[in-house]
Amino acid sequence: MNHTTNYQLSQWETTDRILMSDFNADNAKIDAALTAHDTALAGKADAADLAALTQALAALEAKSTLQVIKTVTQAADGTTFRIDLSDVDWSQWSTVYICLDLLGGGYYYSAYGNQYQNYESHAIPGHHCLVLWPMHQPEGNIGGVFVGYNTPLLIGPGISYSQFTSYKAVCSDSGYTIKKGSKITVKGLR
């Protein structure tokens, strides 16, 4: 009688005598191999486990990557450029970046809600970024750094994040212009 290579199962030839003990031994070997295989598979993730892991990974990515919250493009040339922030849930963000890519010429200052900061003067054109740290505290007072022309500049307009319902770039002279196509992009880290 011959035997298979992997599990040593019986392979009979026509002249071999078949014994019940050989059959039972082969069945025991097959049963043991299938049990070991099932045990190995039980430690592996199934589709539900993989879906849960994928969802957990997506949640971690959302917390650890810079996300665009909103973007506004200036529709026409003007002396002001405003972005509505009333729909920003400040409790969701540890850090928020308000990035201005302004086209045109002249200088502008910032308005945080109704609080104008005319001591800030930034050149147009240029890339400017206001970095804020709400730290998930919408009732905390705004504090941040404005980076761009003639900066960095610490800012503290004296309002809370929940009161910060809009940001506006305002030309400091009627002869200055913020051109069509300028952009303000708000980004955040959770």
SS3 content of the chain, % helix, strand, coil (to 5): 25, 40, 35
CATH class of 67-189: mainly beta
DSSP 48: H
- Hey, what's the torsion of the CAs at 142, 148, 151, 154, to 10 degrees? 10
- Read off the pLDDT of residues 75-110 as tens digits, 9 standing for 90 and up: 999 999 999 999 999 999 999 999 999 999 888 878
For the chain, give every domain's residue range.
Answer: 2-42, 67-189
Model pTM score: 0.67
- Read off the pLDDT of residues 13-65 as tens digits, 9 standing for 90 and up: 777 777 777 767 777 788 788 777 777 777 777 788 788 888 888 888 777 78
Lowest mean pLDDT, pick from 15-19, 127-131, 161-165: 15-19
Mean pLDDT, rounded, for 140-162:
85
Average pLDDT in the chain = 84
Is residue 70 over pLDDT 90? yes
Lowest mean pLDDT, pick from 52-56, 67-71, 152-156: 152-156
Residue 178 backbone zone (phi > 0: left; psi -120 to 50: alpha; other: beta): beta
* Burial profile 104-125: b = 16 or more Cβ within 10 angstroms, e = fewer: bebebbbbbbeeebeebebebe
Is residue 112 over pLDDT 60? yes
Mean pLDDT, rounded, for 150-174:
86
Q: What is the pLDDT of residue 58?
A: 82
Is residue 135 over pLDDT 90? yes
Is residue 7 over pLDDT 80? no
How many residues appear in the chain?
190
The Cα 63–Cα 93 span in angstroms is 9
